[in-house]
Structure 1
Amino acid sequence: MTLTKKQQALCDTHDFDFSDLSALFLNCTLKPTGTLSHTEHLLRVPYEIMKTNGIHVDMVRPVDLDIPPGVYPDMREHGFASDEWPELCEKVMAADILILATPIWLGEESSVCRRVIERLYGESGKLNDKDQSIYYGRVGGCIVTGNEDGIKHCAMTVFYALQHLGYVIPPQADAGWIGEAGPGPSYADEDSGGPENDFTQRNATFMTWNLMHLALLLKQAGGIPAHGNQRSAWQAGCRFDYPNPDYR
């Protein structure tokens, strides 16, 4: 997919250096690689913008992987014969930017998307070197496609999960496209109007740049300040700005 003239101009006319950032795109389609994914066609907009700006980008379809359900880092330790989540998790942890992309089914995000969120949750007990949640200092976005209403609902549930885990959500961090209600053309189908839809293209572009800008700001600032959000300090009795003479 090529960028529109407006999108390419935005990439060509700035002096920001995003080359130290990395992004992971998880396309939570139900279709394996090699099969047309309408969600991936829209996801290609932020992918190409970030790639053009020197960000290291990687796109994965979790449906290709053997990822069992569960809320532990490695479900092989809990009765499953195999689990490829730990390898995917390494990519998650290496990324400054995470975009979850999902189709809409019966008004909700895909089962694959929910499973990814469950597995992300399974890592939430880990801490970074500042004693904060392992996800602090990272930013999250969301892409949604479908043939029925539900873009805002799906984005809402995805963003609640991401921010609860520790991701920072910038303004206008979601984008989506849906066709007419009921059976009809999907985003990448001929004459769907999706790739030409100005509202969708604008939102996808704004989302991408907001993710890039905020990720860069956090990177330059060394992440989220470590005060008032350290678990071990709280467990030790510290109440931060409140009087607490017993805390050392």
Structure 2
Amino acid sequence: MEELRWHLVRSAFAIIALAVVGFIYTKEILDYVVFGPTRPNFPSYRWLCSLGNALGMGDKLCMEPVKFKFLNTQMAGMVMLQFKVAIIVGVVGALPYVFWEFWQFVKPALKERELKGSRGIILWVSMQFFIGVLFSYFLVAPFTVNFPASYNVSDQIDNQFLFDDYFGLMSQIVFGMGVLFELPILVYFLAKVGILGPTFLRTYRRHAIVVLLVLAAVITPPDVLDQLLVFIPLYMLYEISILISARVYRKRQAEEKEEEWS
């Protein structure tokens, strides 16, 4: 317990240190990162437009973000927003180090064979998380922002948004996708210890599709395109997880047969 406490303390210090950086540079993070999808020069809009021109579709894929300003209706709204930015920057930025601390705590309890199969785990976990974050930020977020901003059922109604709602939506999508992209890593370890196998994943594929659709609906607005943008990569990750578990299962069976013969 004493060792676990120090791992947690060091992880907390790493998060706090990066949170301080996020607190100091809140304005730059908001203007250039968080509110990036609301700007016409956001890279995704340029890439989509260039792709449309390259495919001979003209300007059909060109998308101009809806122009709007955010409202603050609370006295302490700006202060709370700055703390939220700081916390998210701290958690996301310190994730590789936090996992390293967790791994150092778990590592002594693993067998030599398990350690051999987990080489580079910190790199893979961190890479999967940040791939999910970048995917959601550059591909999902632009559509997620523009759909509710441009949706209007009457010309007599103006869309005005609270910045807290926008920030919460962005955080939910980006962080949620980062966590969901860890699915292959989780399946690998469950298959490694014999808890999860390819047969189980194939048998419950249809159930998994329903769960993934629900997750896509939870972390995105009620827009079919946004939900498909989230569901498709998650389903691909599920199929990749089946391949990973099958490979681990075959390898574990071969090792067990070698042990029996020896």
Same fold (TM over 0.5): no
Larger radius of gyration: 2
Greater relative contact order: 1 or 2 (C-alpha under 8 angstroms, separation 6 or more)?
2
**TM-score with structure 1 length normalisation?**
0.28
**TM-score with structure 2 length normalisation?**
0.27
Q: If each structure's strand is expressed as a fraction of its own residues, which one has the higher value? A: 1
